[in-house]
Amino acid sequence: MAIAIKESNISEDYNILWEKPLGCGVNGDVYKCTEIRTGQKYALKLLPDCDATRREIQLQASCFNCEHIVPIHALYRNALILKNKQGVKIEKEENSLFVVMELMNGGELFDHLQQKQISEEEAKQFVKQILKAIEFIHEGNIVHRDLKPENILMDVSTSEEEKAESITLKLADFGYAEMDDNGLTNPLYTLYYVAPEVLSNDTRFRKESDKACPPMTYDKKCDIWSLGVITYIMLMGYPPFSPDGPNIEMTSTMYQSILSGDYYYGEMDWKKYSGDAHDFVFSLLHVNPEDRPCAKELLLHPWLQ
């Protein structure tokens, strides 16, 4: 579903809290806003108006039927003029897009995983929800290309009867998303979560003898690898591939480890988890993308039953 662009001034419809951003996406910052007419709170993402960001927005908007993808509520295009506390006009840059989305009250999955070690049962429930989002976009021939805990948002609710906390996960930030035309070659990725077939196209890390080789094509199975890394982190508390020492940049050792699928295997740590959990995670981390199950198959895996 294409979403219509409103040309009216967004400040006539929403009060925006500019002072404190909620977070930063691939292409723009996110703020909290309140719809004046209803009092409903939303998240507002500010993006430059260009073909790439319009494509990002339309790809996310096309997923409005999926309960595990953050829905877009409204879209504006204008140069926004505000006043600061001293009454001085502040003008945001021309050609900006203002994307009004559902506000997720639980923040990023990344922060949740940083704060505590989750149980195997909780990991199962989280993975099921992420897989439902992946299944939906893949059936629509969309590749996300930036699956990571920072792009998975949480909505937390508490049952009055049971006083139990319920967490719903939703996929966000389609800044790297693209239609899968069986010919993706651009190495867009985030360190730690990148699949071998995507990383191999980053010529910065290629051997001189290989730089003349044409780039490999890749497809939606790169998202399955990223889910494998996320699931590994949920269970272990650390990533399967990481740079040497405190360096947070890609190193040649990490590059080769990812290309060969040589992940860190802490045998004592894995003994805490079921054989089905072990089988699930490592079925996602096959170097050959053709050996990785698709999302629909993974939802039927014994670990998730």
Residues 6+ apart with CB under 8 A from 171: 68, 69, 70, 130, 133, 134, 137, 144, 147, 151, 152, 153
45 is in an annotated binding site: yes
Copy the structure tokens of residue 268.
């004592």
Angle separating helix axes 221-236 and 120-139, nearest 10 degrees: 170
Residue 146 annotated as catalytic: yes
Phi and psi at residue 93, in whole multiples of 5°? Answer: -60, 150
155 forms bridges with which residues in the sheet?
168
Q: Which of 115, 94, 123, 143 is nearest to 295 (CA)?
A: 143
Copy the structure tokens of residue 258.
């990812």
Select which of 51, 146, 210, 262 is catalytic.
146
List, as residue ranges, the binding site for ATP: 45
State the catalytic residues: 146
List, as residue ranges, the binding site: 45
